[in-house]
Structure 1
Amino acid sequence: MITDAFFWIGVVVCAVSLLICLVATVTKRYPGDAAIISVAAVELFLVVFAVGAAIRQGGGQPVRGEPWEFWGYVATAFVLPIAGFWWAVLDKTRWSNVVLAAVPVTVFVMLFRMEQIWNGAF
């Protein structure tokens, strides 16, 4: 099956965010602006992804799997960067960067599953 551009853009955004957060974990004692902004970029991608998916579905492109499952993944993925951000703001330790690094990894896995549900890919 063919994957769409949204998936590959999400892979790149998540990979860059993960790299920034891991570097911040190794080099800093507290979450810096770069790590927090990289997770915000993941959230921005998810907003664009959700709007694009709504437009595609509204335009008649069917979801091959269950729509409720797809939108459940979208809603859950949308909450993760927000939770990671608040964790990093409230807990100014090195381990907050690990929590921030877990966000793009988890979003990537969820994005992979959303691609399976939407296109029947992989």
Structure 2
Amino acid sequence: MTVMFLIGAIVCGLSVLVCWTMTAVRDHPADSSIISLAAIELYLLAYAVYAGIRQLGGASVAGEVWEFWGYILTALLLPVGVFIWAMIDKTRWSNLVMSFVGLVVFVMVYRLEEIWWGSAL
């Protein structure tokens, strides 16, 4: 288990908890839910930079490189897309939809670790 994975698990988990809480107490998209999406996006940017530096340094990905970077690019688009959607649909349920970003990104980062290292954590 890498440090980057652990950081991602914590960021995603906290985001999910914040969004679920805001779903229960707010009837519109909460600022804290939006900030939690931004935290996920910042984490993913850091993960992408770390992966890029690692690959430029000569390290290889155990799986397919196109699949690895495809996961990263897709994961980077999720928080942005859901943020835009939440700004359009200003209901309580926007917070719930934002919570799914944390869950999906966690699974994607787990898969990235499998592709990167060649085995499950």
TM-score for the superposition, normalised by structure 1: 0.96
Query: What amino acid sits opposite 1:29 in the alignment?
Result: D
Query: Could you tell me how far 1:88 is from its partner in structure 2?
Result: 1.1
Query: Could you tell me how far 1:120 is from its partner in structure 2?
Result: 1.8
Query: Could you tell me how far 1:36 is from its partner in structure 2?
Result: 0.3
Show the counterpart of 1:81.
Answer: 79
Two-structure CA RMSD over aligned residues (Å) = 0.7
Show the counterpart of 2:115.
Answer: 117
Question: Are residue 107 (structure 1) and residue 102 (structure 2) matched?
Answer: no
Structure 1 residues not aligned, in runs of 5+: none
Show the counterpart of 1:67.
Answer: 65
Greater than 4 Å deviation, 4+ residue runs: none
Show the counterpart of 1:13.
Answer: 11
Query: Could you tell me how far 1:90 is from its partner in structure 2?
Result: 1.2
CA distance in 2, matches of 1:15, 1:31: 19
3-state secondary structure, aligned to 1:63: coil
CA distance in 1, matches of 2:88, 2:78: 15
Structure 2 residues not aligned, in runs of 5+: none
Question: Percent identity between the aligned chains?
Answer: 51
CA distance in 1, matches of 2:117, 2:65: 12
Query: What amino acid sits opposite 1:68 in the alignment?
Result: W
Query: Could you tell me how far 1:4 is from its partner in structure 2?
Result: 1.3
Which digits, 9 at most, give the CA deviation of each residue in 1:73-93, with x for residues without a partner? Answer: 000000000011111111110
CA distance in 2, matches of 1:31, 1:94: 6
Show the counterpart of 2:31.
Answer: 33
Query: What amino acid sits opposite 1:7 in the alignment?
Result: F
**Number of aligned residue pairs:** 120
CA distance in 2, matches of 1:9, 1:60: 24
